[in-house]
Structure 1
Amino acid sequence: MHSKSEQAPVKPIYVRVRDVQEVFGLSKRTVYRLSDEGRIKIRKFGSMSLLKVEEMEALIEGQEPQQ
């Protein structure tokens, strides 16, 4: 049985747009442009703007994300 300190970190499903530069190295401006072009979808949850991590990884790896 694994202790908590031995478990792999949990990968987030969503990341806030405000944190996108720290997580993916892209500016917020680039993210909003990609959204305007229909290449990614920004989801709203209350006052939060969220990006799906899986979609961002696919985009960065040169694949168009499935929306």
Structure 2
Amino acid sequence: NGEREFPRPLLRRCIRLHLEPPRNERLAALVHAHFGEGAHEVNRDLLERFGRGDDGLRPTDELLNAIFLTQHTAV
């Protein structure tokens, strides 16, 4: 996970996988899959701001949680 060193015996049993961060199109597809038709249109600004993250390494669940909260919280 890039935060600490794991013991060699554990690493021998692991497969290392590097995933590229999702592009905006993929994020929009994920939002559509979780929240249905039109959700990515309503949250376009949030999608764009998320895609331009300060460090570019934000977890996708942060976006999904933010959209959930915007849809289920009375403001």
TM-score interval (norm. to shorter): 0.3 to 0.5
TM-score, normalised via structure 1 length: 0.39
* Bigger share in helix: 2
| Greater RCO, 1 or 2 (C-alpha within 8 Å, sep 6+) | 1
Structure 1 or 2, whichever has the larger Rg, is 2
